[in-house]
Amino acid sequence: MEDKPRDDTKAGSDGRGTGSRSDILGDRVETDRNVLDKNGSAASFRGDVTLSPPSGDSAGDRELLRTARDVCAPKAIGVVEDNEGIHLTLDRGRCIMCGMCQATAPTTFKVQSSYAQPARRLANLVQTQFADLPSVGAIMPIEEIGKQLSEKVKRTLGRSLAIREVDAASCNGCEVEVAALNNPIYDVERFGVHFVASPRHADVLLVTGVCSRNMDLALRRTYDATPDPKIVVAVGACACTGGLFGDTYATSGGISQTVPVDVFVPGCPPRPEAILYGLLLAVDRIG
């Protein structure tokens, strides 16, 4: 195929228009060799939110944190007050990266330009201030994610990982990002990952959306139609926890209410790198 890297010595397009005249029809490698080194998220990208200790514990400081909790639309921020002071929790599984908390209390909430890392358990997506946090660690470059994934895939499933994507009522933002994995720049097929047309051919269900009441049955049936062993990856805040759409008459507060979930990928929407990272975590479940 034209999209595969053919010549490793040739410089790939940086895809970001740094002056050189581009010719899309030319014989040039467009696939990112190492996304995060060069083409990773822009400095302005609103990704993970981290907590720092507040500057003080005055009444004013506390009020600021309470306001931050109240401006958070998906209710990702928790505030507990006791004798020892005020404690914060931040649920990345709910966070939609709007940055309103940072705008309210900038010393405490910091929006990072790196993405929030996927986790196997929802509880691991919750940051607690003043407690020892599991270190987020350095974010791996996509090439590294892909290499590890492809090795695990080979070890556990033979040569390839077959994915069925299910939209269980998302806003279609997550679909845009899942589909981006297939473009020549991410080119996820080079890692042995490919999307299949039927759940009966799939190893993984990649589920987006809040699981609406109208999709509930279809999602369950799709799960039942997938042969064992199977893995479910929840993509995006809605699929993880309900996100902005929460738990209402029409929604269910996340897909784990309907099917068992193996990996949670936070984000609104998660970047393609984060989804790939989620798949890497997912195959560990089989191995």
- Return the residues of window 77-116 that contact another protein according to CB under 8 A: 96-100
Q: How far apart, in whole angstroms, are the C-alpha atoms of residue 47 and residue 120?
A: 19
- Return the residues of window 179-198 that contact another protein according to CB under 8 A: 179-180, 182-186, 195, 197-198
For the chain, the first-to-last Cα distance in angstroms comes to: 31
Binding of another protein at residue 204 (CB under 8 A)?
no
Q: Which is nearer to another protein, 91 or 167 (CB)?
A: 167
Q: How far apart, in whole angstroms, are the C-alpha atoms of residue 178 and residue 173?
A: 9
Q: Is 77 helix (H, G, I), strand (E, B) or coil?
A: strand
Binding of another protein at residue 240 (CB under 8 A)?
no
Q: Which stretch binds another protein (CB under 8 A): 56-64, 81-89, 246-254, 257-265?
A: 246-254
State the CB neighbour count (10 A cutoff) for residue 110: 13
What percentage of the chain's residues is helix, strand, coil (to nearest 5)?
30, 15, 50
What minimum distance in Å lies between the beta carbon of 68 and another protein? 13
Is the CB of residue 87 less than 8 Å from the CB of residue 79?
A: yes
Whose tokens are 């599991």? That residue is 134
What size, in residues, is the chain?
Answer: 287
Diameter over CA atoms, the chain: 67
State the CB neighbour count (10 A cutoff) for residue 128: 14
* Among the listed residues 46, 66, 87, 190, the single contact to another protein using CB under 8 A: 46
* Among the listed residues 169, 240, 255, 274, the single contact to another protein using CB under 8 A: 169
* Among the listed residues 109, 115, 191, 245, the single contact to another protein using CB under 8 A: 245
- Return the residues of window 252-271 that contact another protein according to CB under 8 A: 268-269, 271
What minimum distance in Å lies between the beta carbon of 273 and another protein? 11
What minimum distance in Å lies between the beta carbon of 82 and another protein? 28
Distance set, CA 191 to CA 6, 143, 152 (Å): 16, 9, 10
What minimum distance in Å lies between the beta carbon of 180 and another protein? 6
Q: Which is nearer to another protein, 71 or 86 (CB)?
A: 71
Binding of another protein at residue 36 (CB under 8 A)?
no
Binding of another protein at residue 30 (CB under 8 A)?
yes
β-strand partners of 81 = 86
Nearest to 179 by CA among 272, 41, 279: 272
Binding of another protein at residue 283 (CB under 8 A)?
no
Q: Which is nearer to another protein, 99 or 134 (CB)?
A: 99
Q: Is 167 helix (H, G, I), strand (E, B) or coil?
A: strand
* Among the listed residues 9, 60, 249, 287, the single contact to another protein using CB under 8 A: 249
- Return the residues of window 55-84 that contact another protein according to CB under 8 A: 71, 73
